Structure formats: structure tokens, C-alpha cells
Amino acid sequence: MDIIKDIEKMKIGKIEKNVSLKKYTTYKAGGIASIIVTPKDELKLIELLKYLKQNNIKYKILGNGSNLIFSDKLFSDVLIKLSFIDNCTINDTIVKAGAGCSLISVAMKASRMGLTGMEFATGIPGTIGGAVYMNAGAYKSDMGYIVSEVRALNDNLEIVTLYNKDLNFKYRSSFFQNHKNYICLEATMVLKKGDKNLIKQLIEDRKQKRIMTQPLNFPSAGSVFRNPDNDYAWRLIDVCGLKGYRIGDAEVSVKHANFIINKGNASGKDIHDLILFVKETVKKETGVDLKVEQEFVNWE
């Protein structure tokens, strides 16, 4: 069976073959993906998924790749991008955004219209789908505070509505992480009317704070570890003297100890090995077992 030929015949949308995952991850690392399909719309997505399921072909949804660490091996499952599912409408205080929308663009659009509640998201470089999956958040807020409902595909490829209470939002966790076959298609966010100038100022202050404290001029995937209860992962890594520690081209950032940065041509393995080294060292030195917030893909 020639999967790529079959998918091409179905005219699903954009197809890329043998693509370096450096292009599709914010770490700019990882091996080659055999095929990345970007369906034209939801119907084509469903058609593609039907074909993949019928033929027992494995697949994975790829958002903006800002929380993923791919191995350097060939990734032969089908990667699906939802970049064309990117409609975003705002009615009064209700924002509806497709899973492929950039979270930052949606948050900026709502904020410019004087809506408050998404300021926290203006520095998080994921998609709406990836942000719902991860329950992305910052500054004591997260998607769980604003998402009222999500349109999703379930195991049987039916479109269902999941309400906030069903989505089980917890710190960097949601329903989707325990239901890997569900796909987020669209999220509805309920915001509040606010003062445009105050919103703008808050976003600007936080942007400056990020620039001051995070190594944004190097590829990374944001925070590597979840903060343990009543403490900060960066503090624990710092007390272990690990800032600047390097494996290959992967380095524990000197600016923010909970970021690992790609200083040039880091492989997936460099990043993987450095994460495990930091985890083991912190466990040995402080007794705290840090939990990795980022997702390893294709390491089995």
C-alpha cells in the first residue's frame, strides 16, 4: 500500500514529504517526517482520518511544535497540521477560534478589541488546539479560565461539544491528554470587556518581563519542567549549579534555568539527554523529582 499516493489521490490539502522536523518545531531539532498533511478543511480532515483508521495507519496532530521533542529517527506516522482550520470570530465578548489559529494572534486580536482575559496568552507561541491540549497558561491564568466549550472529533470521528466541566483542565493538563484520539477543532473563549489602554499596558509590561527573563533569541520550547508544589523548577535547577550546562548544542539557559536552548545544531538526542541529566541531578541534589512538561515523540 502506498499511503502517500493514496492521500494524494484524495486531494486532502497540502502534502509535504520527507520534511525536516527542524522546520516544524520551535526547538529546531528532530529527524525527518515522512509526510505532513494539512487538510483544506474539517471535512477533508475527517476523510483523511477515516482512511487512516480503516488502514490502521498511525497519525499525530502537530500544532506549532512548541512543546515537542522529536527524536532524530525517521518519523513515519502521518503528521497532521490544522493550519487551515483557522477561522476566528469575535461577537461581543465571545471569541471562537479554529484549532489551527495562532494563540498569540487570537489573544492580540481580542485584546485590541478591548477584551480582557487573554493577556496571559500573548507570549505563548502555540496554536489554539495545542493550547487547549496543554491547558497553556501563565501569570496564574490558563485556558481553563476562559474556554467555555470546545468542538472536537471523538474516537468515532463524530463532532461533539465538550464543555468546560468536561475538559478537566488542571495545571498544564486537559481531557485531551487522556483521550489521545480526540481532536480539538475549535474553542470558544468567554472574555470580559475591559479598558483598551490598561490591557495594552499589561501586555507590554509582560512582554518586557519575558524579554528580560527568558532566552527568546534562541530556539526552545519554553519551560522544560512543571513547577513542583510551592516551588519553582528554575530555582531547583539553579541551586544545582546547572545553568550553562551543555550537551552537544543543547544548553541549560543562563538567563532562565528552566529553559533548554538550541545553541546551533542541537539534535533531539542532545536535548533529550540534557533533560534527563537535569532531572537526575535535581533528584540527587534536592530530592525533588521534576516532571517534564514537554512531550517526547518517537523515542520508543
Ligand X SMILES: Cc1cc2nc3c(=O)[nH]c(=O)nc-3n(C[C@H](O)[C@H](O)[C@H](O)COP(=O)(O)OP(=O)(O)OC[C@H]3O[C@@H](n4cnc5c(N)ncnc54)[C@H](O)[C@@H]3O)c2cc1C
Catalytic residue set: 172, 223, 293
Is 122 a binder of ligand X (CB under 6 A)? no
Choose the stretch contacting ligand X; rule: CB under 6 A; options: 90-98, 198-206, 214-222, 246-254. 214-222
Q: Which of 21, 107, 221, 252 binds ligand X (CB under 6 A)?
A: 221
Contact status: 82 vs ligand X (CB under 6 A): yes
From residue 52, how far is each of 59, 81, 100, 271 by CA, in Å? 8, 15, 20, 31
Residue for cell digits 540527587? 284
Asked if 157 and 46 touch (Cβ cutoff 8 Å), the reply is yes
Helices within the chain (DSSP H only): 3-9, 42-54, 103-112, 128-134, 143-146, 175-178, 196-213, 233-239, 268-286
Cell numbers placing 190: 468567554
Regarding 80 and contact with ligand X (CB under 6 A), the answer is no
Least spacing, CB of residue 287 vs ligand X, in Å: 26
| Contact indicator for 75, 34 with CB cutoff of 8 Å | yes
Per CB under 6 A, 268 contacts ligand X: no
Residue for grid cell 463524530: 158
Q: Which of 12, 37, 48, 62 binds ligand X (CB under 6 A)?
A: 62
- Among 129, 187, 266, 272, the residue binding ligand X under the rule CB under 6 A is 129
- Rounded least distance, CB 213 to ligand X, Å: 11
**Total of residues contacting ligand X (CB under 6 A):** 32
Q: Based on CB atoms, which residue is closest to ligand X, 32 or 138?
A: 138
Which of 42, 135, 148 is CA-nearest to residue 95? 148
Listed ranges 128-136, 162-170, 244-252, 260-268: which one lies at the site for ligand X (CB under 6 A): 128-136
The span of 86-94, 120-128, 192-200, 274-282 binding ligand X (CB under 6 A) equals 120-128
Set of cell numbers at residue 237: 535547577
Name the grid cell of 18: 520527507
Q: What letter represents residue 96's amino acid?
A: K
Please give the residue ranges that form the binding site for ligand X (CB under 6 A).
26, 60-68, 82, 99, 124-127, 129-131, 133-134, 136-138, 176, 183-184, 216, 220-222, 295
